[in-house]
Chains A and B, each alone.
Chain A
């Protein structure tokens, strides 16, 4: 009884707050290192010819639904990061998802389902999501459970240290040292392989790892190169000391055995690469921290499993 009253009171209070929230303005404070809005790029993104949307295909289903459901992240800066001011998800992966949605539907309408690296295969196979854009490394073993279009990007792990740290120039130098890594990231097995004597400390997010590095909880931080470049841009007290020492080709995860959708997605990828949309998306996201022109996109189908 009383619980009911309390719950009601809380519900009223909270809904009042969210009502307030709904009528706020969406002016976005400038944040360094954040990806740019993608509207201008998406305006140039192609739309598939009606004939390409085969009857009875996954593409037709998505088009009829009017929304592409993407498995992705909300907290991966430059790749797939939610902008709290607008609620939009921004970055390289997120924009490619929107471009694919536009190609199928005609409008960049996506719904991002937050997924974990452990659940992506299940999300795809039971149809919760249409595609996965989430730094999803193509492997032969995974290709037994899901189909991969792409690869659409290649990245790798590298090492960051506090400026002025000496004696770390290659992964093997991490032996016997305390090394920071994101929980459940490929950095953990990579460090164990290349520097088996390193003591690995894992934290749940990139800002935590970065703070730990600055507070000398560990001497080095192993993470995806793109992210570390962004971190080093934002925070001049850290520096990157190696070239990427792994090669991770990212693919677009699709339902296993859906060859139509795979061929369709690969055709789209080829098209956006040829028309320069891929390069512009890169320039708008990763290109805001990496200087120079967009790299050569990886050859579609070049990786075992793709």
Chain B
């Protein structure tokens, strides 16, 4: 894929990823289960942390986009426009190599989490905004009529209803976040995709390795789908 000599050559020379004297069992792939499990853990960690961050940021972005002050609304729009229009991979590379040049250098995994959170927040912001718009006008008017301020009517009236209508879209964004964490592998984080790639480099059995990794992603997504389905049935407001 990229430059230069290729890895398999050395391996084929009889080297192993394990220290000398340790040989792999014949059912080679099973020996890598701990590595893949570790990768899966990292994927889960990246997904959970970045989705949480994205949810918080996304609420803020939505608030900005419906705020009373024009500058804030413009800020919210600019945020969404910027991050929905840049490929995540470009953002990741820029953040990891560019930010240290302006004096901000964090742990790579942390940087990846923040970047994915910032990126997905644009999508969550859009989903929430359409949810807010779906809340009927009378709700906002009623909230204002009983004397709630903007913040209060958002917090107690609009957002709780908006959140319910966007459970399904949020579930989809969660799944997208899970899949997007795979890009972390391109910037040295050994997540599930990274681990699968490294195992494949040694064992050269791409079908079982990548199908297995794909199944793990599908499982995470299925779990997310199950949870959002339950949530939706429980919380949905029929109108």
A and B touch in the complex (CB under 8 A): yes
Q: How far is the CA of A137 from the CA of B10 in the complex (A)?
A: 8
Q: Which residues of B contact A186 (CB under 8 A)?
A: 5-10
Chain B residues, Cβ within 8 Å of A151: none
Chain A residues lying within 8 Å of B9, measured Cβ to Cβ, are 137, 139, 142, 186, 248
Is chain A's binding surface mostly helix, strand, loop or mixed?
mixed
Q: Are B13 and A203 in contact (CB under 8 A)?
A: no
Verify if A205 is at the interface (C-beta below 8 Å from B). Answer: yes
Contact indicator A182/B3 (Cβ below 8 Å): yes
A227 partner, pick from B1, B3, B188, B202, beta carbons under 8 A: B3
B93 and A224 form a contact (CB under 8 A): no
Neighbouring B residues of A118 by C-beta, 8 Å: 1, 8, 206
Which chain B residues border A185 with CB–CB below 8 Å? 2-7
Chain B: interface residue total (CB-CB under 8 A): 33
Q: Are B7 and A184 neighbours in the complex by a CB distance under 8 Å?
A: yes
B residues 1-54 near A (Cβ < 8 Å) are: 1-13, 15-20
- Identify which of A137, A183, A187 contacts B1 (C-beta below 8 A): A183
Interchain CA distance A212-B100 in the complex, whole Å:
10
A224 contact from B5, B97, B197, Cβ within 8 A: B5
The yes or no answer to B105 lying at the interface (CB within 8 A) is yes
Chain A interface size band reads 35 or more
A302 CB within 8 Å of chain B:
no
Q: Give per-residue flags for B174-196: 1 if the beta carbon is below 8 A from chain A beta carbons, else 0.
A: 00000000000011100000100
Bound Cα distance from A117 to B10, whole angstroms: 13
- Does B198 sit within 8 A of A, measured CB to CB? yes
Which B residues are in CB contact (< 8 Å) with A116?
1-2
Query: In the complex, which of the residues B1, B18, B108, B197 has the most CB atoms of chain A within 10 Å of its own CB atom?
Result: B1
State the Cβ distance, B105 to closest chain A Cβ, in Å. 6
Cβ A184 vs Cβ B6 within 8 A: yes
Residue of A nearest to B11 (CB): A189
Q: What CA separation (Å) do A73 and B6 show in the bound complex?
A: 12
Whether B100 pairs with A215 at a CB distance below 8 angstroms is yes
Q: Contacts of A155 on B, CB cut-off 8 Å?
A: 5
Determine if B231 is an interface residue (Cβ-Cβ < 8 Å): no
The answer, yes or no, to whether A204 is at the interface (CB within 8 Å) is yes
CB <8 Å contact, A117 and B97: no
Contact A135 B6 (CB under 8 A): yes
B97 touches A212 (CB 8 A): yes
Distance of A255 Cα from B202 Cα, bound (Å): 24
Cβ of A300 within 8 Å of any chain B Cβ, yes or no, is no
A40 within 8 Å of B by Cβ?
A: no
Chain A residues closer than 8 Å to B12, beta-carbon distance: 139-142
Q: Mark A191-212, 1 if CB is under 8 A from B, else 0.
A: 0110010000111111010011
| B40-70 CB contacts (< 8 Å) to partner A | none
- Interface pair A203/B5, CB less than 8 Å apart: no
What residues of chain A lie closer than 8 Å to B3, measured between beta carbons? Answer: 73, 75-77, 79, 182, 185, 205-206, 227
Query: B235 to chain A: which residues have CB within 8 Å?
Result: none
Q: Are B100 and A248 in contact (CB under 8 A)?
A: no
Complex contacts, A79 vs chain B, CB 8 Å: 3-4
Binding site for B on A (CB under 8 A): 73, 75-77, 79, 116-118, 135-137, 139-142, 155, 157, 182-190, 192-193, 196, 201-206, 208, 211-212, 215, 217, 223-224, 227, 246, 248, 250
Apart from A142-B8, A208-B93, list 12 A-B contacts with CB within 8 A: A77-B3, A117-B6, A135-B4, A139-B9, A182-B2, A186-B5, A186-B6, A188-B7, A196-B19, A204-B187, A248-B10, A250-B5
